[in-house]
Copies of this chain bind each other. A is one copy, B any other.
Amino acid sequence: MSGPAAPAADPGFDPGFDAGVDPSFDPRTGEQHGGVPHTAPEQVAEILGRAQGAAPRVAGTSPATRETWLAAIADALRVHEDELVQLAGEETGLGADRLRGELAKCAASTVFYGAVAAEGSYLGASTEGIGGDSTLSRWNIPVGPVAVFGASNFPFGFGVIGHDVASALGAGCPVIVKAHPAHPRLSVRLAELVADSLDRAGAPVGSYALVVGFDAGLQLVDAAEITAVAFTGSQGGGMALVARAAARGVPVFAEMGTVNPVFVTTDAAADSAGIAAGFVGSFTLGAGQFCTKPGLLFAPAGAGIFDAVRAQLRQVPRAPLLTAGIARGYRAGLAGLARAAEDAGAEATDTSLDPADGYAVDPQAFLVRVEQLHPGSHPGSRLLEECFGPVALVCEYEDAAAALDALARLQPSLVASVFTGGPGDPESAEVVARLLGQVGRVALNAWPTGVATSWSMQHGGPWPATSRSDATSVGAGALDRFVRPVAVQNADPAHLPAALHPDNPWRIPRRIDGRLTLPTA
């Protein structure tokens, strides 16, 4: 399964490889190790047909049944942990610790989405008399087959398995995943495990499938059978999907890359070493390939935070990026940032790269001033774009108000962090209030890269951080993306779905005659 090494100076699979295959590269060496053939159009059509056939049967199961399916997937992931971590390491270059952690979290979140489904609030069940003998009942139904476009950077969290797949299955929708080309062999193996787990757990044939290749992905987006699309990745990729699916009104839930600002108040900057260490740890985590990476930190001038960041960075080892394309993008991005910072007179760290070992790069940081952060004014505008990889900016401010104004000019982000001196910090309230208008989540005295899978998580943000600011791709709300409400007027109570049956067989919260009611204990 091993092939020739790609040219070290510009590793990539563009030239000379089979156009009908996603080749598998080891980012640590740049070597190819086999690949996975693309799914042919007629196979994709068959997969779509099976998903459509499965849709009413998946929708017709109880949430508690789907909870058992998801538990079966989680079990399989745990049983095959060593094999999966090994394979993921070969295709992502992410370390074994990180991968073990991600896989464990993925298994736990898969179970969580089953519990959210079984709890039943996502069904939005409501029934009432509306005068005379008339009644009205409303509940949420699954939308139908969902296409998931996974991310390069979370081989377990967002893709063949993970948040989108588990929340869609939990909501009662068949899923077809388009494999990310960054890890094709892992994708195929994971898909085998998921399909096998679902099969053993009794899920209908067609509940889940994988397709490989760019054209297969487009075929999904264009297919009449697909009723919703979930995407995690770049703004360019997400926006292209949104535009393509808009023609037939299919919602695309695209979670895209953002800058994710951090604001350090004057009080908080007293711990400049702690802030710098935490910042470096967060923006170099996973070689900076997190959609929640903090890309820009505002800190009061004179606290020495940038110098501390630079000192910390020297301790961070080189790390491989996920793909040759990402490595190229990082180099181009770094060069742009260096120019923007230098043109404007800012201090820049060394941006030279050693292309000798796979896709490995050095982490970097740049110092900028508030005045440079003006969108639209080249080259300053370059400073406001996400650069995927282990690089971040530090903006030292003299005047907190000016820094807040600069924050307001940033593109919306998924998340922001605020470091304060504690509840009594006079700057804290205004910073949080301002940021809430621009992000999906504000983390206080915590770095943005930690994303809990829980009832209260919001992993989303105003456009263009995501295509749908009302949605989240992590947390209990993730199921809401894949259902739509329907109402039936004057239904015979015995013919209502279980969610609204008078006996409440699923024991879920419901709204009866306008009053929210909880299931009796």
Asked if B136 and A489 sit within 8 Å, CB to CB, the answer is: no
Asked if A458 and B486 sit within 8 Å, CB to CB, the answer is: yes
A84 CB, nearest partner CB in chain B, Å = 25
A174 CB, nearest partner CB in chain B, Å = 14
Kindly state whether residue A470 has any CB partner on chain B within 8 Å.
Answer: yes
A113 CB, nearest partner CB in chain B, Å = 13
Report Cα–Cα, A490/B416, bound state, in Å: 13
Kindly state whether residue A335 has any CB partner on chain B within 8 Å.
Answer: no
Determine the chain B residues whose CB is within 8 A of the CB of A445 once the complex forms. 490
Kindly state whether residue A442 has any CB partner on chain B within 8 Å.
Answer: yes
Segment at the interface with B among A37-45, A122-130, A197-205, A304-312: A122-130
Asked if A472 and B485 sit within 8 Å, CB to CB, the answer is: yes
Asked if B486 and A456 sit within 8 Å, CB to CB, the answer is: no
Determine the chain B residues whose CB is within 8 A of the CB of A442 once the complex forms. 486-489
Kindly state whether residue A246 has any CB partner on chain B within 8 Å.
Answer: yes
Kindly state whether residue A440 has any CB partner on chain B within 8 Å.
Answer: yes
Asked if A458 and B487 sit within 8 Å, CB to CB, the answer is: yes
Determine the chain B residues whose CB is within 8 A of the CB of A511 once the complex forms. 121, 455-456
Determine the chain B residues whose CB is within 8 A of the CB of A460 once the complex forms. 485
Closest to A130 in B: B452
Kindly state whether residue A319 has any CB partner on chain B within 8 Å.
Answer: no
Asked if B136 and A452 sit within 8 Å, CB to CB, the answer is: yes
Determine the chain B residues whose CB is within 8 A of the CB of A455 once the complex forms. 126, 128, 138, 511, 514
Asked if B444 and A488 sit within 8 Å, CB to CB, the answer is: yes
Report Cα–Cα, A489/B143, bound state, in Å: 31
Asked if A490 and B443 sit within 8 Å, CB to CB, the answer is: yes
Kindly state whether residue A249 has any CB partner on chain B within 8 Å.
Answer: yes
Asked if B127 and A423 sit within 8 Å, CB to CB, the answer is: no
Asked if B126 and A444 sit within 8 Å, CB to CB, the answer is: no
Closest to A440 in B: B486
Asked if A457 and B136 sit within 8 Å, CB to CB, the answer is: yes
Report Cα–Cα, A466/B464, bound state, in Å: 23
Segment at the interface with B among A85-93, A181-189, A281-289, A491-499: A491-499
Interface residues of A in 77-98 (CB under 8 A from B): none
Closest to A453 in B: B130
What 0/1 pattern do residues 493 to 513 of A give for CB contact below 8 A with B?
A: 011000000000000010100
Kindly state whether residue A432 has any CB partner on chain B within 8 Å.
Answer: yes
Report Cα–Cα, A440/B489, bound state, in Å: 11
Given A249-B463, A455-B128, verify A488-B441 contact (CB < 8 Å).
Answer: yes
What 0/1 pattern do residues 429 to 466 of A give for CB contact below 8 A with B?
A: 10010001001111111100000101111101011100
Kindly state whether residue A234 has any CB partner on chain B within 8 Å.
Answer: no
Residue in A137, A456, A494, A516 with the greatest tally of chain B CB atoms within 10 Å: A456
Kindly state whether residue A467 has any CB partner on chain B within 8 Å.
Answer: yes
Kindly state whether residue A469 has any CB partner on chain B within 8 Å.
Answer: yes
- Return 13 A-B CB contacts under 8 Å, by A number: A124-B477, A126-B455, A138-B455, A246-B246, A250-B463, A251-B470, A440-B485, A440-B487, A444-B488, A455-B511, A458-B485, A469-B484, A470-B483
Q: Which residues of A contact B (CB under 8 A)?
A: 119, 121, 124, 126-128, 130-131, 134, 136-138, 141, 143, 242-243, 246, 248-251, 423, 428-429, 432, 436, 439-446, 452, 454-458, 460, 462-464, 467-470, 472, 475-477, 480, 483-492, 494-495, 509, 511, 514, 516, 518
